Every structure is written in C-alpha cells, then in structure tokens.
Amino acid sequence: MAAEVGRFTQVEGQVELYKAKTTKPIPAQPQTAAEVNDRIKTEALSRAQLQFLDASTLTVAPLSDIVIESYMYDPKKGEQGALSRLTQGLIRLIVPVETLAKKEFLVKTPNAILGIRGTELFILIGPDFTDVYVKSGTVSASSNKPGKGDKVSMGSRGQKWHGDVARLAKQADVRAANLGRRMIGAMQASRIRAVELPSPTVTLTADDFATLERLLYTGLTGQFG
C-alpha cells in the first residue's frame, strides 16, 4: 500500500478519487486519505481541499483534474517536496513559509513546469496555456518545451474569452528576454505556452484574487469559447 501523503479536509459535490492509477473511482469524503499516484477529479459545482502532511493545502475547483505523482516529507532531515500534474481546471496551492526545506513543490501542466516554495498561488489551465497567479512568495516558471526568443503573450491569441477570466487576462504581447525561466513574485501573474518563454509578469490587484477565489467555487465553465 502506498504511503499516505495527506487527507481531504473539505469535499463538496461529486469528487472522484482514482487510487493508484485505477480506472474505477471512489467518492472522496472528508478525512479520506490521499496517496502517491492518486488522481483527483471534480465534477461541475464540486470542489475539494486536501491538506498534506507538511500542512500545505491544495484546493481543487470544479471540473479540474490533478494527479499527485510523488511526495516526500521528512521533518527530521528538513526534506520536503512534491510533484503534481494538473491537466484541467483551476487549483490553489498554499505552501507555508515554515515548510521551506531542501526540496520544493513542483507542478507540471500540459505547458509548464512550476517550482513552488513558501507560496500561495493559483494555477489555471486554458485551451493552450497555463496561467500562474502568485499571491505571496515566489514561483519559478518555465515552459515544458522552451524555445528561444519566441513571441509570448498574456493576450487571448484569437480566443474569445468570457466572464471573469476575460477580466483577468491582461495584454503583454512582447518578446521575453531571458533563457526560458521566469520568477513570478507576489501579486504577479504570467502565462506559459508550450515551446514559448513565459510571458513577462503583470501586476495583480486584490480584486483579481477575489475573482480567482470565486472561480474556485464556480469553476471555469463558460470562461472560454
């Protein structure tokens, strides 16, 4: 049996938990244990919150899909780290500053690889991009397949955006001037697409994070078209 990495603290609606890469899910409930290789899938108007052993918290919005690929926590050695793969939807991840250690949390998406330490952030999966919204701390972001000198944008690239996500999208159509990795600080956001450099950061407001908090309850339905 795989080692427990945390437990569900809140479950609303239909939250499916696929154990150890199985194809038949079980319903997640408060206090259900989560393990390495577990897949969490939320349906419409459903959400879940998971607390890891190191007190880090993961909130999964409706219509999201995430897999916990690895997890390590050894407080005696000061070692802690995790790798999750988000393929759909929106999550919020809070990694307390006091859990900083020799390792870091990594999140993979179809477009990006994110290194997270002592951070509160939201990660949103769009049709062909990953958006990273950092409320506190710092996140290291890079493309899964970085190019050099590619044109990058926080804009919609022809996508019709609706509702809250349209307001969150800010234009930043410029060429990145680094080697493929971008540090995203507190109250900043960046967009990452495959084979492109992460977009230059834009500054966020408290209203932007209020919108993201609301999307944790509603999900991204109707935000893209």
Single out the residue of 126, 176, 128, 180 nearest to residue 151, CA to CA: 176
Say what the pLDDT of residue 117 is: 79
Pairing verdict, β 4-12 and 57-60: unpaired
Say what the pLDDT of residue 12 is: 98
* Other CB atoms within 10 A of residue 154 CB: 22
Q: What is the pLDDT of residues 156-211, one digit of tens each?
A: 444 555 566 555 654 333 333 334 789 999 999 999 998 888 999 999 999 999 99
Domain ranges of the chain: 4-218
Token pair 């607390």 is at which residue? 51
Q: What is the pLDDT of residues 41-70, one digit of tens each?
A: 999 999 999 999 988 999 999 999 999 999
Say what the pLDDT of residue 17 is: 98
Instruction: For the domain made up of 4-218, give the CATH fold.
Output: Jelly Rolls (2.60.120)
Contacts 24+ apart (CB under 8 A), 165-168: 165/124, 165/126, 165/215, 165/220, 165/223, 165/224, 166/223, 167/211, 168/131, 168/133, 168/208, 168/211, 168/212
Say what the pLDDT of residue 99 is: 53
8 A C-beta contact, residue 136 and residue 116: no
Q: Which band of pLDDT confidence, cut at 50, 70 and 90, is reported for residue 224?
A: low
Single out the residue of 75, 112, 118, 127 nearest to residue 199, CA to CA: 112
Identify the helix (H) or strand (E) that includes residue 175: strand 174-175
Token pair 């939201």 is at which residue? 122
Q: What is the pLDDT of residues 104-161, one digit of tens each?
A: 788 999 999 999 877 899 999 998 999 999 999 999 999 986 444 344 444 444 455 5
Say what the pLDDT of residue 118 is: 79
8 A C-beta contact, residue 68 and residue 48: no
Q: What is the pLDDT of residues 18-49, one digit of tens each?
A: 998 788 999 999 999 999 999 999 999 999 99
